[in-house]
Amino acid sequence: MNNYLVLSDKVKQALNAKEPVVALESTIISHGMPYPDNLYTAKEVEAIVLQSGAVPATIAIIDGKITVGLTDQQLEFMATESTITKASRRDIPVILTKKRHASTTVAATMKIFVTGGIGGVHRNAEKTFDISADLQELARTNVAVVSAGAKAILDLKLTMEYLETLGVPVLGYQTDEFPAFYSRTSGVPVNDRVETAEEIAAIINTKWKLGLNGGIVIGNPIPEEYSMPPQEMQLAIDAALQEAERLFITGKAVTPFLLDKIQQLTGGKSLKANVALIKNNAQLGAKVAVALNRL
Could you tell me if 38 and 29 are in contact, meaning their C-beta atoms sit under 8 angstroms apart? yes
Helices (H), the chain: 9-16, 27, 37-51, 72-80, 92-97, 125-128, 133-140, 156-166, 197-209, 230-246, 254-265, 269-294
Confidence at 23, pLDDT banded by 50, 70, 90: very high
178 lies in which domain range?
5-227+278-294
Inside any domain, residue 251: no
pLDDT, mean of residues 112-123:
91
Average pLDDT over residues 7-36: 92
Is residue 190 scored above 60 in pLDDT? Answer: yes
How many domains is the chain built from? 1
Cα–Cα distance for residue pair 56/141, rounded to 1 Å: 20
pLDDT in tens, 245-266: 899 988 778 878 888 899 999 9
Region 193-210: what's the mean pLDDT?
97
Residue 112 lies in a domain: yes
Burial level of 210, CB count in 10 A (0-12/13-18/19+)? exposed
How much of the chain, in percent, has pLDDT values that exceed 70?
A: 98
In a domain, 237, yes or no: no
The answer to whether position 169 is within a domain reads: yes
- Looking at residue 184, its pLDDT comes to 96
Nearest to 25 by CA among 76, 61, 68, 59: 59
Closest by alpha carbon to 117, among 70, 154, 142?
154
Residues β-bridged to residue 129: none
Asked if residue 265 is part of any domain, the answer here is no
- Is residue 241 in some structural domain? no
Q: What pLDDT was estimated at residue 151?
A: 85
Evaluate if residue 110 carries a pLDDT over 90: no
With bands split at pLDDT 50, 70 and 90, how would you rate the model's confidence at 106?
low
pTM, two decimals, is 0.91
Grouping H, G, I as helix, E, B as strand and the rest as coil, residue 173 is strand
Q: Residue 248 falls within a domain, yes or no?
A: no
Question: Is omega for the bond preceding 230 within 30 degrees of 0, making it cis?
Answer: no
d(CA 104, CA 89): 9
For residue 84, tell me if it sits in a domain.
yes
Cα 282 to Cα 23: distance, rounded to the nearest angstrom: 10
Active-site residue numbers? Answer: 25, 151
Distance CA 29, CA 274 (A): 12
What CATH number is attached to the domain comprising 154?
A: 3.40.1790.10
Percentage of the chain surpassing pLDDT 90? 79
Residue 281 has pLDDT above 80, yes or no: yes
